[in-house]
Copies of this chain bind each other. A is one copy, B any other.
Amino acid sequence: MHLRWGHADEVEVLAFDIFGTVVDWHGSIVREMSALHPQVDGDAFALAWRAGYRPAMARVMSGELGWTLIDDLHRRILDEILPQFGLAHLDEAARSHLNRAWHRLDPWPDAVAGLQRLKRKYIVCTLSNGNLGLLTRMAKRAGLPWDCVLSAEVFRAYKPDPATYRGVARVFDLPPQRVMLVAAHHDDLEGARACGLRTAYVERPLEFGAGKVKDVSPQAANELHSRDLLDLAEQLGC
């Protein structure tokens, strides 16, 4: 693929969505559940937990809830769904440990090697709705070699709020076209594009598990379309 940028537009920063794009939240929650609570349907549990995620952030962004970190939103949702899965009896320590499962998500098999290659040429940072503590502990456990951990927590706004995409460009004192968002979600990329960022889509057909394969067909509006992060490194000449 021929890249369309010249020197003044050269991309310097690759900002990555995390949940689903870099790490396999579904498979990791299933793994945690089969170790901790094997009697529960891990696939259904993971999907139920994640289903509460967007509505919870929407309540924050509408002002109905004050500013709340993802760790706390995950915990609210967890407390809501536990009874539906026969786990209403879990005590505080068990709930708290389970909630930290989001700090222990495994990377997709290509992620660490892909990021190591991309990092040679670009600043690689997170741009996730996950909070800084979650992202840092996840990276340390998984070996994700970020140059910088950025989060909705820094900008006090959740994606796709423009403050997040513009915030990354501002942090690095760059015009938005010198930042590229890498994500497995078209709405996230659309939000970034509306702020002038470049966009790269990553196929993650199994994001929601093998029972719910995702359509990963290309959308023309994205500058790049990649199978995984190794393919993205290849396309970017890293």
Given contacts A133-B173, A135-B148, A147-B149, 7 further A-B contacts (CB under 8 A): A123-B140, A125-B136, A132-B148, A132-B154, A133-B171, A149-B149, A154-B154
Q: Is A185 an interface residue (CB 8 A)?
A: no
Are A172 and B123 in contact, CB atoms less than 8 angstroms apart?
no
Q: Is A71 an interface residue (CB 8 A)?
A: yes
**Majority secondary structure of chain A interface residues (helix, strand, loop or mixed):** helix
Q: How far is B172's CA from A71's CA once the two chains are assembled, in angstroms?
A: 11
Q: How far is B140's CA from A101's CA once the two chains are assembled, in angstroms?
A: 30
Count chain A residues whose beta carbon lies closer than 8 angstroms to a beta carbon of B: 20
Q: Is A118 an interface residue (CB 8 A)?
A: no
**Nearest 10 interchain pairs by C-beta:** A136-B148, A133-B172, A148-B149, A132-B171, A136-B147, A133-B171, A140-B147, A133-B173, A154-B154, A123-B136
Instruction: Provide a sorted-by-A list of 20 A–B residue pairs whose CB atoms are within 8 angstroms.
Output: A71-B173, A123-B136, A123-B137, A123-B140, A125-B136, A131-B171, A132-B148, A132-B171, A132-B172, A133-B172, A133-B173, A135-B148, A136-B147, A136-B148, A136-B172, A139-B147, A140-B147, A148-B149, A149-B149, A154-B154
Q: How far is B130's CA from A148's CA once the two chains are assembled, in angstroms?
A: 14
Q: How far is B148's CA from A133's CA once the two chains are assembled, in angstroms?
A: 9
Q: How far is B133's CA from A172's CA once the two chains are assembled, in angstroms?
A: 5
Task: Please report which residues of chain A, range 165-185, place their CB below 8 angstroms from some CB of chain B when the two chains form the complex.
Answer: 171-173
Q: Which residues of B contact A136 (CB under 8 A)?
A: 123, 125, 147-148, 172
Q: Which residues of B contact A123 (CB under 8 A)?
A: 136-137, 140
Would you give the shortest CB distance from A92 to chain B, in whole angstroms? 15
Q: Which residues of B contact A125 (CB under 8 A)?
A: 136
Task: Please report which residues of chain A, range 160-219, place their CB below 8 angstroms from some CB of chain B when the two chains form the complex.
Answer: 171-173
